[in-house]
Chain A
Amino acid sequence: MLSRIANNLFWAGRYLERSEHLARYFLTHHYNVVEIGTQELQVQSYNSMFLLSGMSNIPSVDYIKSNENDVVSRLVLDRENYSSLRSTIHKCRENMRSARDVINTNLWESINKLYLVINNINADEFDIDDISSLCERILKETTVAKSYIDNSLIHNETWAFLKLGIHLEAACQVCRIITTKLTENDVYAETMNLDNTEAYFSLNLLKNTEALDMYRNQYKSLPNLRQSLEFLILEKNFPKSIVYNIEHIQSIVEKIAEMNGISRNGLEYHVGKISSGLRYTDIDDIPDDYVTYIENLLVDIHHIAAKLEERYFIY
């Protein structure tokens, strides 16, 4: 496989996964904005969306208050904004298009359909009420595309680099959602007059990662912070958890090395170390400063991407 194509596939996978996370995050927060009473908290919710999408120019509180439609449009539809949902999907498609000859028609058409769902929307005519139906469609189309990756491609290098991108991005996004939410928690605790702030916060965290139902299934109790983090970081059998995604990265990295007759070295060692670390960690082993722990984990995950690039993508 061409190094460039491997890189394109990796990034197509990353942007596909990122699109899904952004769409879910925006959807959950949209319902949140509708539900929560105070304007301060609504502004906080928009800030959270900006933070997760990685935008640098977060509008002022006053601007958000008086230009809600424009704010949503910037997050979702802005072509100029490199991190908007539209741009993310566009980049997913461009990378997939560069690798068009190595993927199949079903996958290509599903990605193209995902692109058309958002590309056909005129930002000037977009209404804030449309965001939920748009995000739901995007979630559906990303799921379809991911199912084509797993169920219609040969599990060769094409599949492997796409999946590497997906798992790596999934791990990154869950880390980022956790840190964003943990940071916000204090604001919520101060501002909202809730009987159980922790439960409310945990509920949101799990909703944002599509983990609530499975959490309930596992713990049979109201969400609390400790268990929520345990579930999202360390639950080996839950596809959204960090450990699940890191273990899959490990297995795919080894598979690619085997396919190409490459002896295992720095890349495999690094992934194996993170994977083993998570596998043998208990929630009680994690220090109370969860944010620092997750940020360090995120740095380790970024190192995986750098080592992948060094090994396979840079020629």
Chain B
Amino acid sequence: METLEVLNSVKSDEKLFFDEMFDENNNVRPYYSDIVDYFGGIAKGDFKRLNELTRANFFKQGITFAVYSDQNVGVERIFPFDLIPRVIPKHEWDTIEKGLLQRNIAVNLFIKDLYNEKKILKDKIVPAELIFSSSFFCREMEGFVPPSGIYTHIVGTDLIRHSDGDYYVLEDNLRCPSGVSYVLSNREATKKAFFSLFSKQNVMPVNNYTQMLLETIQSVAPSGVDKPTCVVITPGFYNSAYFEHSFLAMSMGIQLVEGRDMFVENNFVYMKTINGPKRVDVIYRRIDDDFLDPLCFREDSFIGIPGIMGAYRSGNVTLINAPGAGVADDKAVYTYMPEIIKYYLGEEMILKNVQTYKCENESDCKYVLENISNLVVKPVDESGGYGVFIGTKHTKAEAEEYKKLVISNPRKYIAQPVMNLSVQGTYIEGEDTIEPRHIDLRAFSLMGKDKNFVLKGGLTRVALKKGSLIVNSSQGGGSKDTWVI
């Protein structure tokens, strides 16, 4: 029987990176030993069949995202799923969890301050022009505090493990972070495929997420509402994340609505039911700020609810997350996170930030332009890996072109050193081996009225292409189940 070979980073000449499975002496890390033994003992043919079966199951369940071809024909794809789980030992996770909670609490206080007293700006901890020039700063939120003072009910934080073995925060995603449905679906898939392995590992559960999400949503209902009617709003089933929207609504047992199902009357929000209008109290919106209310933001939006900002500011409906929360996940604001945490909580930051050069600073900009080939340059207001320039992967001519973009609008760009994303054994289709590939982690946290929650594990994203550092699903990435043991 020919079994799978589990390659480590030493064998694959990737010594520069932290190998999640193997230590520097090429020994299997203790918390991975069962996994390496298990997969190393599986016949190649059996694993291949299991892999195909899992893929077919994802299709059968409709766990897909939509992409659009040149002919504008919607094609559904599954988010590639790698069967080899990523393990995070409990003691490491405890630190991550503490760091995430600290960060979320500080960010929330920061947003509240920005839209009200603006103390942090007056004290010149964060430059006011940085905030007011952010495309995510929402003037309609000024002087308004949402129920329980919570702006960021749902947060997705992107983390990486650098070659020094430490975890670093790459990004805070405060605007409709997506991906949690894949965490739950991936867990079901690994449990099904490797029940005997899974059951021995004491993996921390993730299936409590939707219950916690519902409790979070209900906890911030407008005052005086005992039994709130909560809904999830989606742009519609052509949206690439529609699977997640419907999955979350169904798992929480609440209605999935579209903008056209809702209307506002006398500053109250209603949905159109077969039995007349029904009042809605809390809206978990998966629509960007810009499209939320055509009367306030983009008037060409067909997916929003006209007048909803009026109802929101009157305290008759709660929006999750609050509009304008994105001002704090601007990549330039990110660089001030240590100061922000210190300012509001009086604590040192637990999770590290990646060193970041702000191109709006003349000296930083000069450094970036001179060292662009060794840096990763990112637009501050883009997500999904779009517009990212990785210096080591581009030609000199391409670098010169990109420099022109930076010079034309320095505020739009930040730069970071090329971070050595850790690697982890990943099944390589076609070659039938388990080889190291770069990974990151998106962790999900919730902030409710009296309770905060961090999902134990999160979504490990993997760059399936050898040597690639881009893990985004839109650019050829896949995902893994994440086991906190």
Contact = CB atoms under 8 A, between A and B. Distances in A.
Given A2-B261, A112-B62, A101 B255 contact: yes
Interface in B247-278: 249-250, 254-258, 260-261, 271-275
Contacts of A312: 274
A261 B275 CA distance: 9
15 contacts: A2-B255, A2-B257, A2-B271, A3-B274, A4-B260, A94-B237, A97-B62, A98-B236, A98-B237, A101-B232, A101-B254, A105-B61, A108-B62, A112-B60, A260-B274
Contacts of A102: 250, 255
Contact of A109 (B61, B232, B250): B61
A101 B60 contact: no
A34 interface: no
A98 to B, nearest CB: 6
Given A2-B273, A105-B61, A157-B274, 18 more contacts: A1-B275, A2-B271, A4-B272, A6-B274, A97-B246, A100-B62, A100-B250, A100-B256, A101-B249, A101-B254, A102-B255, A109-B62, A112-B60, A116-B60, A256-B274, A260-B275, A261-B275, A312-B274
A280 interface: no
B59 interface: yes
A55 B236 CA distance: 29
Interface string A247-278: 00000000010001110000000000000000
B81 to A, nearest CB: 17
Contacts of A2: 255, 257, 261, 271-274
Nearest to A100: B246
Interface residues on B, range: 20 to 34
Given A3-B274, A116-B60, A315-B272, A101 B246 contact: yes
A113 interface: yes
A113 B232 CA distance: 26
A189 to B, nearest CB: 46
A28 B209 CA distance: 50
A268 B59 CA distance: 41
A152 to B, nearest CB: 14
B237 A97 contact: yes
A297 B22 CA distance: 74
B258 A4 contact: yes
A101 B256 contact: yes
Nearest to A2: B261
Contacts, number: 61
Interface in A114-149: 116
B273 A1 contact: yes
Contact of A1 (B246, B250, B260, B274): B274
Q: Which of A2, A262, A313, A315 has the most CB of B within 10 A?
A: A2
Majority DSSP secondary structure for residues of A touching B: helix
Nearest to B252: A101
Contact of B272 (A3, A108, A260): A3
B256 to A, nearest CB: 4
A98 B260 CA distance: 13
B227 to A, nearest CB: 18
Nearest to B248: A101
A1 B275 CA distance: 8
Given A98-B237, A112-B60, A262 B275 contact: yes
A11 B274 CA distance: 15
B326 to A, nearest CB: 26
A120 to B, nearest CB: 9
Q: Which of A113, A256, A315 has the most CB of B within 10 A?
A: A315
Nearest to A115: B62
Contacts of A100: 62, 246, 250, 256
Contacts of A262: 275
A1 B256 CA distance: 11
A97 B271 CA distance: 19
Interface string A189-220: 00000000000000000000000000000000
Contacts of B236: 98
Contacts of B59: 112, 116
Nearest to B262: A2
A6 B236 CA distance: 16
Nearest to A261: B275
A218 to B, nearest CB: 39
Contacts of B61: 105, 108-109, 112
Nearest to B64: A112
Interface string A1-22: 1111010000000000000000
Contacts of B261: 2-4
Nearest to B63: A112
A262 B271 CA distance: 19
A4 B273 CA distance: 8
Given A2-B261, A97-B237, A101-B246, A109 B273 contact: no
B189 to A, nearest CB: 14
Contacts of A261: 275
A260 B273 CA distance: 11
Interface in A152-170: 157
A99 B186 CA distance: 23
Contact of B273 (A3, A97, A98, A108): A3
Interface string B214-238: 0000000000000000001000110
A315 B274 CA distance: 8
Nearest to B263: A315
B265 to A, nearest CB: 13
Nearest to A311: B274
Q: Which of B232, B237, B254, B257 has the most CB of A within 10 A?
A: B237
Contact of A113 (B60, B250, B271, B272): B60
A97 B260 CA distance: 17
B60 A109 contact: yes
B423 to A, nearest CB: 35
B275 to A, nearest CB: 5
Nearest to B253: A101
Contacts of B258: 4
A143 B257 CA distance: 29
A253 to B, nearest CB: 12
A58 to B, nearest CB: 26
A112 B76 CA distance: 12
Nearest to B232: A101
Nearest to A95: B237
The 8 closest A-B pairs by CB, nearest first: A100-B246, A315-B272, A101-B249, A101-B256, A101-B250, A312-B274, A260-B275, A112-B62
Contacts of B275: 1, 260-262
